[in-house]
Amino acid sequence: MSETLADLLETLVNIPSETGHEAAIADWVAARLAAIGHGELTRSG
């Protein structure tokens, strides 16, 4: 994972995440955190 902060921000803002439909962005964040391999993620909803 060698993206710059700007690259990550661009990716985030391009993921549709309207209120009530945040699954795609939550999936992306969860995958990124899982790839790092530290900590535990608990999703709600």
Per-residue pLDDT of the chain (45 residues; tens, 9 = 90+): 578 999 999 999 999 999 999 999 999 999 999 998 888 889 887
What is each CA distance from 15 to 11, 24, 31, in whole angstroms? 7, 7, 14
pLDDT of residue 3: 84
Angle of helix 23-36 relative to helix 5-13, nearest 10 degrees, comes to: 150
Residue labelled with tokens 């962005």: 25
Instruction: Answer whether residue 14 is part of any domain.
Output: yes
CA distance 41 to 29: 10
Instruction: Answer whether residue 41 is part of any domain.
Output: no
Tally of domains in the chain = 1
Domain that holds residue 13: 5-36
Instruction: Answer whether residue 24 is part of any domain.
Output: yes
CA distance 6 to 9: 5
Instruction: Answer whether residue 45 is part of any domain.
Output: no
Instruction: Answer whether residue 29 is part of any domain.
Output: yes
pTM: 0.75
Instruction: Answer whether residue 19 is part of any domain.
Output: yes
Instruction: Answer whether residue 9 is part of any domain.
Output: yes
